[in-house]
Amino acid sequence: MSTSIETVEREKIDLVALKKTNINVVVFGHGKVGSTLIEQILDKHLSLWKRRDLNVKIIAVVNSTKLLLRPDGINKNWQLEKHTYGTRYSVQTIIDFVKLHEFEHVIAVDNTADDNIVHEYTTLINAGFHLVSSNKKGNTQSLQFYQNLRKTLQVNHKKYLYETNVGAGLPLIDTISLLHASGENITKIRGVFSGSLSYIFNTFGNSNLPISEVLSRAIKKGFTEPDPREDLNGNDVARKLLILARELDLHNELKDVMVENLVPKSLRNSSKEEFLNSLFYLDVPYKIKKTNCRKGNVLRYVAELSGNLAKNDGANLAVRLVEVAKDSVIGQLKGSDTIFEIYTENYDKNPIVIQGAGAGAEVTARGVFGDILRLSEQIKN
C-alpha cells in the first residue's frame, strides 16, 4: 500500500513540474555582482517556483579559468564545488553541455567587464541562448558589431536584455526605448550617470573634506572600481552615454564622446598602488575648482546627449565636470544616486526624471535578476 501511495505522490509532483517553465541560466563572471546575483537566484528559487511557475536554475558558473557544470542546478556550495570539480573553461564546452542535456530556454548572463566574452555573443545566440548582460562592452563596440548583433538576435528569435548597462536597476533603457518606439521626439538626455562619481561630488560639495578623503571613503564603501581611475577617467560614463544614443538609433561611436578625464596626467600611467598613495595630489586642484564655483552652485560630473536627434547621423555627446545650481534637480542629488533627465517635444520644460541608487553590487545584481525574470516571463508566455 505504501508503495502505491508513494507512486501517486510522485506522479502528482511530476504533474506539477510539467506546468513549470524551466529557465536554465549560465552565469559568466562571479565577482561582486555575479556572486551576489547567484545568491539572489538561489534564495528566490522556491518563491519563483510557487508564485510564478518558474523553475530558474543555474546550470553553469564560469570565470576566465574554470567552469562548473551542474545539470540539476548549483546549490549553496557552488564555490567549493567549482574550486574542487571545476573544469577548464571554453564557450564550446558550455554549448556541448547544453546540447547533451537538451536544455531549452537557456539564458547566458554576462556579469564581466570582458571584451572576450562579448565577442562570443553571436556564437551563443546561434547556439540557442538568450542574453542578459551588465557588461556595457557588448553595446559599445563598433556600430557594425552592434548592428550585426541585432541581426543575429532577430534571425534566431532571441532576446538580449541589458537594463543595468545604464542606471543599475533603474527602468531607464526601457523608458527611452518605449518613448522612441512610440514616436516621442527625444531632444536631449542629461544627468549624473555614475553612482560612484555622484557620491564623490555630492559628499565633496556638502562637506569640508578634501577630495582625497572623500575618494578614500568611496573606495571603502565599494562604490568605485578597485582602481578608482576607471571611474575618474570618465570612460564608463561615456559608454553609458553611447548606449543611450544607440537606443535612439543614432550612429555614434565611442570616439565621438567628448570626455573630461578627472585624473591628473601625472597620475594616469602609474601603478594602482602608486595612485592610491598619491590621492593627496588631487586636493589642491579640486579645492580651487570648488572655491571658484559661483555662489549657489555645486560641482557635478554630468553626461549630456544633444543635437539634431531627428537625424540618425549622430548626436553631440559630452561628459564633463560642470557647475549646476545647488537647488536644481541635479544639484540636490544625495548619496550615490544617479539621475537622468529626458527632454522631449512634449516634455521640454519639465523633463521626465528618473532617479535612484546607482552604485553597489546588490543594486546591480538585483537589476540583472530583474532582466532574467522579465525574459523568463516573455519565454513563458
pLDDT for residue 13: 45
CATH of domain 21-168+363-380: 3.40.50.720
Whether 370 has a pLDDT exceeding 90, the answer reads yes
pLDDT tens figures, 112-152? 989 999 999 999 999 999 999 999 999 999 999 999 999 99
Instruction: Specify whether 136 is catalytic.
Output: no
User: In degrees rounded to 5, what are phi and psi of residue 24?
Assistant: -105, 120
Identity of residue 112:
T
pLDDT tens figures, 60-90? 999 988 999 999 999 999 999 999 999 999 9
Q: What does the pLDDT average to over 271-294? A: 95
DSSP H or E run through 11: helix 2-18
pLDDT tens figures, 261-281? 999 999 999 999 999 999 999
The rounded distance, in Å, linking the Cα atoms of 246 and 228 is 27
Q: Confidence class of residue 8 from pLDDT cuts 50, 70 and 90? A: very low
pLDDT for residue 360: 74
pLDDT for residue 7: 54
pLDDT for residue 73: 96
Cα separation of the two ends of the chain:
41
Identity of residue 184:
E
Identity of residue 71:
P
The rounded distance, in Å, linking the Cα atoms of 99 and 122 is 17
Q: Confidence class of residue 359 from pLDDT cuts 50, 70 and 90? A: low
Residue of 76, 240, 290, 326 marked active site: 240
Angle formed by the axes of helices 195-205 and 283-291, to 10°? 70
The rounded distance, in Å, linking the Cα atoms of 192 and 337 is 8
Q: Confidence class of residue 20 from pLDDT cuts 50, 70 and 90? A: confident
Q: What does the pLDDT average to over 376-381? A: 87
| Cell numbers found for residue 203 | 559628499
| Domain 173-358 annotated CATH 3.20.20.70 | no
- Strand-pair partners of 301: 321
Q: What does the pLDDT average to over 366-373? A: 96
Domain range summary for the chain, segments of one domain joined by + = 21-168+363-380, 173-358
User: How many other CB atoms sit within 10 Å of the CB of residue 127?
Assistant: 19
| % residues pLDDT > 70 (the chain) | 94
Whether 376 has a pLDDT exceeding 90, the answer reads yes
pLDDT for residue 313: 67
Q: Confidence class of residue 342 from pLDDT cuts 50, 70 and 90? A: very high
Whether 11 has a pLDDT exceeding 70, the answer reads no
In the chain, the largest separation of any two C-alpha atoms, in whole Å, equals: 87
pLDDT for residue 18: 54
Q: What does the pLDDT average to over 350-358? A: 90
pTM assigned to the model: 0.90
Whether 232 has a pLDDT exceeding 70, the answer reads yes
Whether 27 has a pLDDT exceeding 80, the answer reads yes
290 in helix, strand or coil? helix
- Strand-pair partners of 132: 109, 161
pLDDT tens figures, 182-205? 999 999 999 999 999 999 999 999
- Structural contact between residues 308 and 294, judged by C-beta atoms closer than 8 angstroms: no
- Which bin fits 10, alpha (ψ -120 to 50), beta or left (φ > 0)? alpha
Whether 2 has a pLDDT exceeding 70, the answer reads no
User: How many other CB atoms sit within 10 Å of the CB of residue 260?
Assistant: 14
pLDDT for residue 15: 40
Whether 12 has a pLDDT exceeding 50, the answer reads no
Q: What does the pLDDT average to over 15-30? A: 82
- Structural contact between residues 276 and 214, judged by C-beta atoms closer than 8 angstroms: no
The mean pLDDT of the chain is 92
- Strand-pair partners of 323: 299
DSSP H or E run through 238: helix 235-247
Q: What does the pLDDT average to over 10-19? A: 50
